[in-house]
Amino acid sequence: MNMSGRTLLMELRKTLRQAGDVSKAPVMQAYMKSTMPYHGVPTPVLRKLCRQAFADVSFSSAPAWRATVLDLWRGARFREERYAALELAGDKRAARFQTPAALSLYEEFVVTGAWWDYVDQIASHLVGGILRTHPMPVRRKMLLWSKSKNLWKRRVSILCQLGFKADTDLDLLYSCIEPSLGSPEFFLQKAIGWALRQHAWTDATEIKRYVSLNRARLSALSCREALKNLR
């Protein structure tokens, strides 16, 4: 780790340790089925502490931002420290670095994090943001991820448009769902249902049409989730 990243991580770890509740930490770890321990800091408090810890952080370049974020992620010993890395990755001061070049960083997080709490934030807030501003190259990348052997990259491709509403690229959504339609993986079935349900708020008729057309190929879980708010 470079020294600035190491210093930031050590200061953050001290702050999180002081704010943590040791009685809640094992409960949080068990709920998330995490091998990495927790400090026991609830999400609202964590975000507040991150804002304070990162207040004086600045980045002269994309490589400097990437290095600092990677230091936090790779050096983390507690799960909240990785959550903090994601907070710093998506900080508004890093907005100019949210380009297709950042996808390799987020790919590392997805592959090494390999669990829904990390992956869902990366999909909807980080990858999704880049998709909005750089649709063509990210679209190509998501189509590749949708066919990956890594289920979490597939999940990102399905969920990356969660907040797009009327701007949702349905061709992309359906294309990213397609390779996972027959998958027995719970996290892919759930992602498909979630993505369809989310768009149903914008266009219920379209989602009903899609589910009806593909009911034989969609899992029962995906169908149930997709239509949950339409009954």
For the chain, domains (ranges, CATH) are: 1-97 (1.25.10.90), 99-231 (1.25.10.90)
What confidence category does residue 2 fall into, taking pLDDT thresholds of 50, 70 and 90? very low
The residue-averaged pLDDT of 54-75 equals 94
% of residues, the chain, pLDDT over 70: 98
Length of the chain (residues) = 231
- pLDDT tens sequence across 121-162: 999 999 999 999 999 999 999 999 999 999 999 999 999 999
> What is the Cα–Cα distance from 142 to 75, expressed in whole angstroms?
28
Confidence (pTM) = 0.95
Kindly state the tokens that stand for 37: 């321990």
How far is C-alpha 112 from the chain's CA centre?
Answer: 12
Name every residue whose Cβ is closer than 8 Å to that of residue 143 and which is 6 or more positions away in sequence. 157, 172, 175, 176
> What is the Cα–Cα distance from 98 to 102, expressed in whole angstroms?
6
Q: Is the pLDDT of residue 4 over 90?
A: no
Contact 224, 188 (CB under 8 A): no
